[in-house]
Structures are given as structure tokens and as C-alpha cells.
Structure 1
Amino acid sequence: MKRSKRMQLVLDLAKRDEEAAAEDYEHAKRELQAEADQLNQTTRYYQEYASSSGVKGSQVNISALEHSRHFLQRLSEIIELLKQQVALKEGVVQQKKDVWYKCHLRAKSLSDLIDRYKKEEEIEYDKKEQKMIDDWVNQTYSRDE
């Protein structure tokens, strides 16, 4: 079996690894986007609630103000947790991207190597063919003499 054929099996495995890494990378990006969307939505809600929970009218309900303050504080804590989650997900996305890129480079390198092997095999075949023609011509010429 030619080297290029043997290496094709290795390339097929490398491409499978690359595809799996690409799927992992895309999945991580979708998870990051979902976390970022949740953070944005929670931040917007916090801002809307904070702006709408001001004193309305002349009567101030201490219990309602205390409840509002506590709720905003809890929302603020949740926003900080979501920011941490987004930062973690960004790290995971970068790791998945690095893994995919390494797999991609490996598959490309193997593909280039196979192309080189095929060219070498073609040159070797052409040389053998030319040698056979030369031998045939020499045999034919030597018979004629």
C-alpha cells in the first residue's frame, strides 16, 4: 500500500477529531451567548426596576422601600454571579477554540503531507515508466543492429 493511502486513514481520523472539536467549540460559543444574554436581560431588569421603584406620591411605605432595596441588592448579587459565569464561559470558549485550531492545523499538515507523498509517488511512477520505455527502446534498437 502506498504511503499516501496509509496516511489517508490517519487524515480521516484527524478530520473526525477536527469536526468534533469544532462542534465542541460551537456548543461552547452558544452557551456563552446564552449566559451573556441572561446577564444583559438581568441588568436591564435591574435598571428598569431601580428607576421605577422610586418614591411615587407623597406617601412613603417603609416596608415597600425596604423590600425594594433588598430585591435590588439580590439582583445586584445575581448580576455579579452572572458576570463571573460569563468570564468562565469566555475562558472555556477560548480553550475549545485552541483545541479546534490545533486539530485543524494537524489535519491541514497531514493533508499537505499526503499531497507531497502523492507527488513523490507520481514522480516515481513516471521515472519507472520512462525507464521501461527506455529499456524497450534499447532492446528494440539492439535487435535491429
Structure 2
Amino acid sequence: MKKSHRMQILVDLAKRKEDAAAQQLARDKAKVEQDVQKLDELKEYAGQYESERNLLGLGAYLTTNYQHFVDRVQQAILQQEATIGRAEQQADMSMRGWLQARANTKSMDWLKEKNHKAELMVEVKQEQRQSDEFAMRRFLDRS
């Protein structure tokens, strides 16, 4: 088996790893988008309750309960922001992993092509040698 054919196996393996890294990156980016959407919903929810509190004119007891509820929503917002931060870090790590896998695939492919070109050059030289030898024999046979 020629070296370029053996290299193709390595290129295919590197490509599979690159594809897996790309899929992980896509999942991580989707997670970030989903988490951002949840944060937006929480902020909208908190804003609605805050504006309703001002309109309702609640008594002291209900105002305190209402404020505790709004505080819990604010806490959920802070937790969601932290979740987004972690998801973005994971997506960044996935991006670096994919870039590394992509670079590996490209270098394997380049090496395979280099070996293929070298093999072609050897074949061309061999064919040229055979052609020259054949021409020399014809010339000697005629003489």
C-alpha cells in the first residue's frame, strides 16, 4: 500500500474528529443562545412585576411579599447570567478544540498530498527510464 493511501486513512480519521468537534461547538453555541433567551425572559418577567407593583398600590404586608418575590426573580437573573458565562466559556473551549482539529486535518491532508506528489514523481521517472530503455533497445536492434 502506498504511503499516500495510508495517509488518507489518517486524513479521514482527522476529518471525523474535526466533524465531532464542529458538532460539539454547534451544541455549545445553541446552549449559549438558549441561556441568553432564558435570561431575556427572566428580565422581562421581572420588569413586568416591578411595573405592576407600582400600579397596584399594595399595602405594607403585600408590598414586602411582593418585594421578596421580585428579589428572588433578581437572584434567578444573576444565576442565569453566571450560567451564560459558563456556557460561553465552554463554547470558547469548543471553538479552540475545533480550530485545533481543523488545523490537524489540514496538515494531514497537506502531508498526504506531498506524499502523493512524490509518488507520482517516482512513477514518472520510472516510466521515463522504461521508455528510454525501450528506445535504446529498438535503436540497438536496428543497428
The answer, yes or no, to whether TM exceeds 0.5 is yes
Instruction: Say yes or no: does 1:133 pair with 2:136.
Output: no
Higher helix proportion = 2
Deviations 1:18-71 (A, max 9, x none): 1111111111111111111101110111112111111535xx411211111101
- Which residue pairs with 1:12 in the alignment? 12
Q: Deviations over 1:116-142 (max 9, x none)?
A: 211111111111000000001111111
Letter in 2 for 1:77: Q
In 1, Cα distance between the equivalents of 2:142 and 2:69? 107
Taking the aligned partners of 2:140 and 2:115, their CA distance within structure 1 comes to 37
- Counterpart of 1:75 in structure 2 is 73
Mapping for residues 95-134 of structure 1, pairs under 5 Å: 95-134=93-132
Alpha carbon RMSD of aligned pairs, Å?
1.1
One-letter amino acid of the counterpart of residue 10, structure 1: L
SS at match of 1:119: helix
3-state SS of the aligned residue for 1:95?
helix
Which of 41, 62, 65 is equivalent to 2:63? 65
Instruction: Give 2:19's aligned amino acid.
Output: E
1:21 maps to 2:21: yes
Task: Pick the aligned partner of 2:86 from 88, 91, 116.
Answer: 88
For the residues of structure 2 that align with 1:115 and 1:6, how far apart are their CA atoms? 12
> What is the letter of the counterpart of residue 67 of structure 1?
N
Amino acid at match of 1:106: N
Task: Number of aligned residue pairs: give it.
Answer: 143
| Partner residue, 1:142 | 140
Give the % identical residues: 25
Name the residue aligned to 1:43: 43
Segments of structure 2 that go 5 or more residues without pairing to the other structure are none
Q: TM-score normalised to the size of structure 2?
A: 0.95
Give the ranges of 4+ consecutive aligned residues of structure 1 lying more than 3 Å apart after TM superposition: none
AA aligned to 1:41 is: E
Structure 1 gap segments, 5+ residues each: none
Q: Which amino acid aligns with 1:54?
A: N
